[in-house]
A = this chain, B = another copy of it.
């Protein structure tokens, strides 16, 4: 059962099948629309090879008059040159015509195969159909989340509400993930809507902060996507403006919670994964050093296959830390997996390999704690194991 989550005030959504994907059962077009102008901000892939929709939406953000996001799945409109840019812009114009907005106030994102032109005929026909189905219901929000999915096995949504003064503010978001997931960011698309009042600078600052500790701390396979997009829309429909430092902190916290839930759902649904791995790298001089170590460990196929095989091969973890580009000595490191101490201050610890292996086998959730002696900075990072199913899923994606 998928839980039904509410939309913030003033937002409507839709998810339909327009015919981009070959499977006739699958939805492939989502709309997120606000009934009034939104402060909007975005965070995008840093890959220099990026999709046309990334270029179009990045150019339009931040802004204070955004009205909608249109997303298609099944085709990423990436590596498609000027033709692709023109197709992405056309998608926003089609939406703008339906909702009575300027094209520039519509943002766009696409996910799917790289390097193929969008089938514009099905989008020309589909966008008006989707616009007619726009609704404020939880069911429509779920359909929109489903229409973003590629190899995801479940839709990913999150919501939080908070009280500021006598008003309730809501933040709701949807995302898709599955693979090509690496920091900055993932083939992940995410739309977060709130009925709070923010200005566009606030929206940008708060979104970057949330993304830093959520979507930028997940890795499935280390391959940085061409299409990663996170968009925040704030439409003020709650009648409450987030203003004082306290209110900002409360709002930031709620936004963090939404982003974290969505990001970890991506790892829970990572392609072919059997294990959900939380990696805590603590005791570092800087967050950046903690992050580098976490990313080196999380991206190592040898670490990921060991977890798949429930093999407490801790040498692979500490040796990945050794090539992270962070100055360190072996004796600076202590490692525990699922609470079992395996390596302390640079020396192996006697442990019951069978017991640790059983713990890895019986728990879908794995915790790796790598503690250094350098300082007080830390990072929490999420990844998954590397399985035969991952290879199967990715060995013939386009053919």
Q: Which residues of A does B touch, CB under 8 Å?
A: 46-50, 76, 78-81, 83, 113-116, 179-180, 182, 184, 221-226, 299-303, 305-306, 308-316, 318-323, 327-331, 343, 346-348, 353-354, 357, 386-388, 390-392, 394-399
Give Cα A392–Cα B392 distance, bound, in whole angstroms: 13
Which chain B positions have C-beta within 8 A of A80? Answer: 347-348
What's the nearest-Cβ distance from chain B to residue A82, in Å? 9
What's the nearest-Cβ distance from chain B to residue A81, in Å? 4
What's the nearest-Cβ distance from chain B to residue A296, in Å? 9
Q: Is the pair A114, B221 in contact by a Cβ cutoff of 8 Å?
A: no
Chain copies in complex:
2
Which chain B positions have C-beta within 8 A of A357? Answer: 399
Q: A79-B315, A398-B311 are in contact. Are A322 and B49 (CB under 8 A)?
A: yes
A-B contact pairs, 25 of them (CB 8 A): A48-B330, A79-B343, A79-B347, A79-B348, A81-B346, A83-B347, A114-B313, A114-B314, A115-B314, A115-B318, A115-B348, A116-B348, A180-B316, A180-B319, A223-B301, A224-B322, A224-B323, A301-B386, A301-B394, A302-B394, A306-B398, A309-B395, A311-B397, A386-B391, A388-B391
Q: A301-B301, A392-B388 are in contact. Are A313 and B47 (CB under 8 A)?
A: no
Give Cα A49–Cα B328 distance, bound, in whole angstroms: 8
Give Cα A192–Cα B329 distance, bound, in whole angstroms: 30
Q: Is the pair A49, B321 in contact by a Cβ cutoff of 8 Å?
A: yes
Which chain B positions have C-beta within 8 A of A311? Answer: 395-399
Q: Is the pair B347, A391 in contact by a Cβ cutoff of 8 Å?
A: no
Q: Is the pair B226, A322 in contact by a Cβ cutoff of 8 Å?
A: yes
Give Cα A305–Cα B315 distance, bound, in whole angstroms: 25
What's the nearest-Cβ distance from chain B to residue A375, in Å? 17
Which chain B positions have C-beta within 8 A of A398? Answer: 306, 311-313, 353
Q: Is the pair A390, B305 in contact by a Cβ cutoff of 8 Å?
A: yes
Which chain B positions have C-beta within 8 A of A321? Answer: 49
Which chain B positions have C-beta within 8 A of A346? Answer: 79, 81
Which chain B positions have C-beta within 8 A of A386? Answer: 301, 391
List 16 additional contacts besides A180-B319, A310-B399; criterion CB under 8 Å.
A49-B322, A49-B330, A79-B347, A81-B347, A114-B318, A115-B314, A115-B318, A179-B302, A221-B300, A222-B300, A223-B323, A224-B322, A224-B323, A225-B319, A306-B398, A387-B391
Give Cα A388–Cα B79 distance, bound, in whole angstroms: 29
Closest 8 CB pairs of A and B: A114-B315, A309-B395, A49-B322, A305-B394, A309-B396, A224-B323, A388-B388, A47-B322
